[in-house]
Structure 1
Amino acid sequence: MEGFLWPKYKDLRRMTAGFMGMAVAIILFGWIIGVLGCCWDRGLMQYVAGLLFLMGGTFCIISLCTCVAGINFELSRYPRYLYGLPDDISHGYGWSMFCAWGGLGLTLISGFFCTLAPSVQPVPRTNCPKSRPENGTVC
Structure 2
Amino acid sequence: MRSKVEAESDLRRMTAGFMGMAVAIILFGWIVGVLGCCWDRGLMQYVAGLLFLMGGTFCIISLCTCVAGINFELSRYPRYLFGLPDDIGHGYGWSMFCAWGGLGLTLIAGFFCTLAPSVQPIPRSTCPKSRQENGTVC
The TM-score normalised by the length of structure 2 is 0.87
Partners in 2 of 1:137 and 1:72 — Cα distance? 76
1:28 aligns with 2:27: yes
CA positional deviation for 1:131: 5.0
Partners in 1 of 2:91 and 2:132 — Cα distance? 68
Aligned residue number for residue 136 of structure 2: 137
- Residue by residue over 1:87-138, the C-alpha shift from the partner in whole angstroms, topping out at 9 and shown as x without a partner, is 0011100100000000000000000000000000000111224256999999
Partners in 1 of 2:124 and 2:29 — Cα distance? 30
Partners in 2 of 1:36 and 1:134 — Cα distance? 41
The TM-score normalised by the length of structure 1 is 0.87
Partners in 1 of 2:59 and 2:110 — Cα distance? 13
Range that drifts further, 121-130 or 14-23? 121-130
Q: 1:62 to 1:80 in 2, by over 3 A?
A: same
Q: How many residues align?
A: 130
Structure 1 residue runs of 5 or longer lacking an equivalent are 1-9
Range that drifts further, 128-137 or 66-75? 128-137
Q: 1:137 to 1:103 in 2, by over 3 A?
A: farther
Work out the percentage of aligned pairs sharing the same amino acid. 93
User: Is the 2:130–2:137 contact (alpha carbons within 8 Å) kept by the matching residues of 1?
Assistant: no
- Residue by residue over 1:68-95, the C-alpha shift from the partner in whole angstroms, topping out at 9 and shown as x without a partner, is 0000000001111111111001110010
Partners in 2 of 1:19 and 1:137 — Cα distance? 61
Runs (4 or more) in structure 1 with deviation over 6 Å come to 132-139
Structure 2 residue runs of 5 or longer lacking an equivalent are 1-8
Give the alignment's Cα RMSD to 1 decimal: 3.2
Partners in 1 of 2:135 and 2:18 — Cα distance? 50
CA positional deviation for 1:31: 0.1
Q: 1:108 to 1:91 in 2, by over 3 A?
A: same
